[in-house]
Amino acid sequence: MSIAIANSILGAFKQPRMLGGFALILFLALLMGASLAMTTPSLAQSSAPAAPQHSHASSYGRGWDCDYGYTSVSARCVGVAVPKNGYLNSDGNRWNCLRGYRRAGGACEAIILPANSYLSENPYGRGWECTRGFVADLAACTRVNVPENGYLTDSGDNWECSRGFRREGQNCAAILVPAHGFLTRNDFGGPGWQCERGFVASGGACATVRVPDHGYLNARGDDWSCGYGYRKSEVTCVTISLPANAHFDDFGDDWDCNAPMRRSGDQCVINRE
């Protein structure tokens, strides 16, 4: 191939217009460049490190990978020593332990199951879980003592109290619901009950919410607000007096001045700014 390139270049310089010393120098320079370009790939290939024993060409470009059952260590492929009760992983470059065993240094040791337990799917950690109704306690499974009026949680390693009862220490105590009250969830340590609409909790009872004239119960039903054009004053709703050139605000419990007036005390004055 290099001979063909040289002949092409030589043919170009045989034209009359290319004769002369300068043409000869240019011809030799081009010839040397072509030779260098042809020899560079072979030089690069010869300088690449040789693939080690028990390896093969990489499937993901240049370089090499170790054969199945070997792993790369300091540019070498070293055999993977699989211990008893172990097996090679799918890549063949490391090992895992069989079910019922766990890694301990370079070996696979048997997982010792305590009473009322079973092998877990997680190969790490202790390697076992307690059956429902038991809870892990160091290397054993201890029974969950469910008190009267209690039940096991979904996880099976703890308990909660039935509806109408709440947890007090290791027991379930009855929730005393006052008149006009009803049971609620007791997830956050509350009293376990709530007052009906129109009543408010007061101590351990539900007191009636006294709504004054021109008032109404709020959305929660445990307090009251005044209607449009009235404002709250202790236990009553008082009329809001509108000065000249004023209007009620969006909530109806206060007023604003009409533009371009501005509020000054209890009246609207001309804005002179």
Whole-number pLDDT of residue 11: 54
DSSP tag of 198: T
- Residue 255 has a pLDDT of 94
Q: What is the pLDDT of residue 62?
A: 81
User: Which is nearest to 76 in space by CA: 98, 97, 51, 57?
Assistant: 51
Enumerate the domain spans of the chain.
2-47
pTM equals: 0.56
pLDDT at 19: 43
The per-residue pLDDT for 122 is: 79
- pLDDT (tens, 9 = 90+) of the chain, 273 residues, equals 444 544 554 454 455 444 455 555 655 555 565 555 554 444 444 455 689 999 999 888 789 999 999 999 999 999 999 999 999 999 999 999 999 999 999 999 999 999 999 999 877 788 999 999 999 999 999 999 999 999 999 999 999 999 999 999 999 999 999 999 999 986 666 788 999 999 999 989 999 999 999 999 999 999 999 999 999 999 999 999 999 999 999 999 999 999 999 999 999 998 876
What is the pLDDT, as a whole number, of residue 17? 47
